[in-house]
Structure 1
């Protein structure tokens, strides 16, 4: 009986450490929803970008922005970081109904904001930014 209680206590302690580690990790990683804007067809449009850290620390994401009153949904897949070891600047491939291209984002040190630039394969980069928000992507 005592052994059973000890095992239960050990599981509860381990679970609390895992929860604490996950909470700490979230503050140091680009995860969650960011509200901001991106340039589309020469206009800055409202956008929501959601990042999620998956196995191995790779980041994936989804986004939605308004294009002339219509919602456009897209996906992000990380292709790498800039190699400086800080994980603040990362590269993604974006894909939506208009095609695909590159997105490069640089996060603030607390991952509360990012400044980014995207292109569709050409040399011209356009702005894409966001700040953590509590809205969800529809």
Structure 2
């Protein structure tokens, strides 16, 4: 019985270690949209492919939910980079998002743009709740 319990805890340890080495999971924070800081949830994962991350996001704007996708076009392959260059896409179009994670991937701070010179804040901290 002890061997079974010990063996069943190994995946949990691996998952915790992986989440500390990669930006996987849900992050709650804010992004600037239409001149207002909006509550946002950004999700990375569920996996890292060739060192590249992808994900999705949701935020509220003027009482409506806006959803979008994130993709990292390229990476050096190690998957451990703290600064990531992503492409966002939603009903408003697409653009660039540059984020920098803390060393334990517990939070990120970044800026998004729509291709123009101006950039706008987008941040998040690991969380469990979801925006519905």
Aligned residues: 127
Instruction: Give 2:125's aligned residue.
Output: 131
1:60 aligns with 2:54: yes
Alignment of 1:1-138 (within 5 A): 17=10, 19-52=12-45, 53-80=47-74, 87-138=81-132
For each residue in 1:67-94, what CA deviation from the matched residue of structure 2 results, as whole angstroms up to 9, or x when unmatched? 11100000000124599x9500001100
Q: Note the C-alpha offset of 1:137.
A: 4.8
Q: Note the C-alpha offset of 1:19.
A: 4.9
Q: Contact 2:43/2:57 (CA < 8 Å) preserved in 1?
A: yes
TM norm structure 2: 0.84
Structure 1 unmatched runs, 5+: 1-8
Equivalents in 2 of 1:38, 1:137: separation in Å? 14
Question: What is the RMSD computed on CA atoms of the aligned residues?
Answer: 2.4
TM norm structure 1: 0.81
Structure 2 unmatched runs, 5+: none
